[in-house]
Structure 1
Amino acid sequence: MLIANEHPDHGKPLDAADAATLGVAAASEVERFLAYREGHKPTPLVTLPGLARALGVAAISIKDEGHRLGLGSFKALGGSYAVIRLVVEEASRRHGRTIDISEFRSPEVRAVAAGLTVACATDGNHGRSVAQGAELVGANCVIFVHAGVSAERVEAIARYGAKMVRVAGNYDDSVAEAARVANENGWIIVSDTSWPGYERIPGLVMQGYTALLREALRELPEPPTHVFVQAGVGGIAAAVAGHFSVVFGTQRPFFVVVDPSRAACLFESARAGQPVKIAHGEPTIMAMLECYQPSLIAWRVLSRTADAFMTVEEEDAVAAMIQLARPSDGDQPIVAGESGGVGLAGLVRARADETSREIIRLGSDARVLLINTEGATDPDRYHELTGLDPATVGQAT
């Protein structure tokens, strides 16, 4: 299902604060910080000419975040960046001088970090990033996970030294519990979703994501005409749409937000014309997108910069995973986790439906940008859904 954005704010410029958070200068600062991260390198931008021919569009490019900083997800850019920024700012305050983010490994910063605790709720990937950032800077870390987070994902977070806390219920329940406990203990909550009175830190998380867009734009031979990005609470979708609205202005690409039909909080917010919390029903296999209430800062950005909202089904996500792993017509294989290929799933559904094609003007001249937001961060689940071993994808091609 696809609907056009009919919000009264659609097409209006971003708020000044959001434009600053997601703009070019901020993205350049994130990239400067990444230059000090050991092992950092830009992730691949993969062109898929065979798939483009099959779908009847001019070009498809996919930014493959399955290779990001050893975490296998775009979230590696957000949580760790926010943690280190916050610790460096606190060290600057205590030492009475501006400490540059390039000094995050210095004894001065680590001494301050040792007395701080950061916390968050997670479906898996954001928590790994926060825990990694805490380990890098020497801070304490507590991560809250809900009942649906797999043991493998919990173990992957704990490897970075985080204390793990299980919470009954779903993702939104874990967000509430993390905020409650952090407030009681004086911890710093580093969430990728925002609520009234809590926006700056989620804004820093989103700011971290903009680095992948700078990388992509440097490699694309022409700007995209269409962008399909999957959404949970909306952070990555808002980062992409917001940054592109700053860079391209009125010439920005047509932007489509893609939700799982079982957790379509942004789609339903678009229908309602305001952010809404939806009922928790049957879980979705798109585990990283299983969110039932949008981030307020993300909604504020997307209400202005998203052009359409759509949903995809469980089988669409699995089909996209398989399509990327076993491409036809000579395309490069890509390992995409359950949530990683959802943007492609949205493109396939939109291209197959005449009404959707007309709404988003998806013609044969379309140049589409997608983001593989995660690799096989749970290899067992990947094999269960696709029948493929992620370690061997592409070896036979």
Structure 2
Amino acid sequence: MFLTNEHPDYRKPLDPVDAETLGTKAAEEVERYLTYRDNHAPTPLHTLPALASELGVGTIHIKDEGFRLGLGSFKALSGSYAVIRLVLEEAGRRLGRPVDLVELHAPEVRSIASGMTVACATDGNHGRSVAQGARLVGARAAIFVHSGVSRERVAAIARFGAQMIRVEGTYDDSVAEAARASAEMGWTVVSDTSWPGYERIPGLVMQGYTAIVREALRQLPGPPTHVFVQAGVGGVAAAIAGHLAILLGDRRPTFIVVDPARAACLFETARAGHPVRIDHGEPTVMAMLECYEPSLVAWRVLSRVADAFMTVDEEDAVAAMNRLARPVGDDPAIVAGESGGAGLAGLMRAAADPAMRARLAVDAKSHVFIVNTEGATDPSRYAALVGMAPADVVAPLAAE
């Protein structure tokens, strides 16, 4: 399914709050925070000339977030960042003065953090980032996971010392339970989705993703003409689209939001013209994108700066994973998890459809930017879908 943005707010300026959240000054602060993180380095940007030729586009560049801060996912930029910001703000309130990042490990700040509990619902990656952030600052973490989250992903979160709480139902059910229990226990919810009256913290989460754009624009030979980014609740898509719009203005690329067909909450929201909750059906293989209601903040941004919305099927996502794992020509091998390659799946589907190509002006002069949002965060699932272990995919590169 495919549609262009027909919302009345399309191409209007961002809401002032969102422009501040995703603006240059905020993004610079995110990068300053990253300099204090162990294992911080810009993630690789891969060029895929053979695939570009195959799809009839000029260039394809993929930003590989599988290498982000040792967590294997773009989410490493967001949950931990928001937790650190919240701890410093609470310390400032308690101490009666501004508290900067350089004081994060000061005894008085650690003492305040130790009395805080941060909580969130997760499909896997966001919870791992929040739990890591809590460990970094000395706070406690309570992570709510729905019944579809694999044991491997739960174990990856628990290793940071988080309290794991299982919730029957979907991701959206776990979001509701995290909010309910946190209100009862006095915990701070660090969610990557927003709802009426709860927007600032999801805004901080989105703010963390601006680092992807800033790194990519320094790595790319020039601005892209097209960007395909996958969406769950819409946070990363909105952050990338919003920051690109602020930086590039009228020169910004055509931005396409890619949803799983089985969990297309943003596609259906765009079709309706307002946020909608869709029915839960058969689970999607794109587990990190299996969300049935969009973030209100993300939709407010995307309604203005996204140019088109589309869906990809299960086989599209698996085909993208396998194409990246088994490259041709001089293309590098890339480990993309089930959700990580969904943006590429969107490009591959669009390139094969003459009508879609024409609507998006995808041609031999197009320079396409895509984000591989995760590596093999569930190695067993990855091996089952690709037929190779993640280590076997990247082994030839290591040998070089």
* TM-score of the alignment, normalized to the shorter chain, above 0.5: yes
Alignment partners' CA distance in 1, 2:103 and 2:153:
31
Q: 2: distance between equivalents of 1:316 and 1:75?
A: 23
Structure 2 counterpart of 1:252, which letter?
A: R
Give the counterpart letter for 2:112 in structure 1.
Answer: V
Question: In 1, distance between residues paired with 2:101 and 2:92?
Answer: 10
Asked whether the equivalents of residues 116 and 140 of structure 2 are also in contact (C-alpha less than 8 Å), the reply is yes
Check conservation: 2:325, 2:386, Cα contact below 8 A.
no
CA contact (8 A) 1:226 1:255 kept: yes
Compare 17-26 and 367-376 and name the one that shifted more. 17-26
Helix, strand or coil for the counterpart of 1:394? helix
Q: In structure 2, what is the Cα distance between the partners aligned to 1:90 and 1:371?
A: 34
Q: TM-score, normalised by structure 1?
A: 0.99
- How far apart, CA to CA, are the structure 2 residues paired with 1:200 and 1:108? 25
Distance in 2, matches of 1:252 and 1:158, equals 40
Cα distance in structure 2, aligned partners of 1:142 and 1:22: 28
Question: Hey, what's the Cα distance between the residues in 2 that align with 1:344 and 1:383?
Answer: 19
| Structure 2 residue 329 is matched with structure 1 residue 329 | yes
Aligned equivalent of 2:310:
310
1:268-323 CA deviation, whole Å, 9 max, x = no partner? 00110111000000000000000000000000000000000000000000000011
Counterpart CA distance in 1 for 2:396 and 2:292 is 40
Query: Is contact 1:33-1:102 (8 Å) kept?
Result: no
Residue 240 of structure 1 and its aligned partner are, at CA, apart by 0.5
Q: Percent identity?
A: 70
Number of the residue aligned with 2:214: 214
1:144 equivalent in structure 2:
144
Code of the aligned partner of 1:144: F
Task: Look up the match of 2:128.
Answer: 128
Structure 1 residue 319 and structure 2 residue 319: aligned? yes
Name the SS for the 2:209 alignment partner: helix
Structure 2 stretches of 5 or more lacking a match?
none
What amino acid does structure 1 have at the position aligned with 2:392?
A: T
Report the residue type matching 1:112 in the other structure. I
State the distance in 2 between where 1:271 and 1:388 align. Answer: 38
Residue 31 of structure 1, CA deviation = 0.4
- State the 1:102 CA deviation: 2.8
The number of residues matched between the two structures is 397
Which residues in structure 2 correspond to 1:47-86 (within 5 Å)?
A: 47-86=47-86
Give the secondary-structure state (helix, strand or coil) at the position aligned to 2:368: strand
Instruction: Tell me the amino acid that sits aligned with residue 265 of structure 1.
Output: C
Kindly indicate whether the alpha-carbon contact (under 8 Å) linking 1:118 and 1:140 is maintained by their aligned counterparts in 2.
yes
In the TM superposition, residue 363 of structure 1 has moved relative to its aligned partner by 1.3
In structure 2, the residue matched to 1:35 is 35
Summarize deviations over 1:166-190 as a string: whole Å, max 9, x none: 0000000000000000001111000
Give the Å deviation of 1:103: 2.1
Q: For residue 46 of structure 1, give the secondary structure of its aligned residue in structure 2.
A: strand
1:194-209 equivalence runs, <5 A: 194-209=194-209
CA distance in 1 between partners of 2:39 and 2:109 (Å): 21
Aligned position for 2:168: 168
Aligned pair 1:287/2:287, yes or no? yes
Partner AA of 2:316 in structure 1? D
Counterpart residue type for residue 232 of structure 1: G
- Structure 1: runs of 5+ lacking an equivalent: none
| Amino acid paired to 2:92 | S
- Aligned match of 2:156: 156
Are the counterparts in 2 of residues 255 and 305 from structure 1 also a CA contact under 8 Å? yes
**Which amino acid in the other structure matches residue 180 of structure 1?**
R
Q: Does the CA-based 8 Å contact 2:146-2:174 persist in structure 1?
A: yes
CA distance in 1: counterparts of 2:50 and 2:102, whole angstroms: 42
Within-5 A mapping of 1:1-397:
1-396=1-396
User: Would you say the 8 A contact 2:212–2:240 is kept in 1?
Assistant: no
Encode CA deviations 1:243-262: one digit per residue, 9 max, x unaligned: 00100111110000000000
Q: Judge conservation of contact 2:242–2:305 (CA < 8 Å) in 1.
A: yes
By how many angstroms is 1:352 displaced?
0.5
1:344–1:370 contact (8 Å) kept in structure 2:
yes
Q: What is the deviation of 1:32?
A: 0.4
The 3-state SS of whatever aligns with 1:395 is helix
Separation in structure 2 between the aligned mates of residue 386 and residue 380 of structure 1, nearest angstrom: 10
- Distance in 2 between the 1:363 and 1:155 partners? 44
Amino acid at match of 1:40: H
Q: Which amino acid aligns with 1:254?
A: T
Cα separation, 2, equivalents of 1:284 and 1:103? 43
Cα pair 1:227 1:253 within 8 Å, conserved: yes
CA distance in 2, matches of 1:141, 1:79: 11
Moved over 6 A (4+): none
Indicate the SS of the match to 1:41: coil
Q: Could you report, residue by residue, the CA deviation over 1:338-377 in whole angstroms, capped at 9, with x for unpaired residues?
A: 0000000000000110111111111110000000000000
CA distance in 1, matches of 2:38, 2:260: 35
Question: How many angstroms apart in 2 are the aligned matches of 1:39 and 1:59?
Answer: 30
Per the TM alignment, residue 212 of structure 1 is displaced from its structure 2 partner at its CA by 1.4
Contact 1:317 1:338 in 2 (8 A): yes
Deviation at 1:24, TM superposition (A): 1.2
Partners of 2:344 and 2:212 lie apart in 1 by: 18
Return the offset for 1:394: 3.2
Hey, what's the Cα distance between the residues in 1 that align with 2:384 and 2:116?
40
Residues of 2 paired with 1:378 and 1:394: CA distance? 16
Q: Deviations over 1:76-119 (max 9, x none)?
A: 00000000100001001111111112322221211100011100
- TM-score, normalised to structure 2, is 0.98
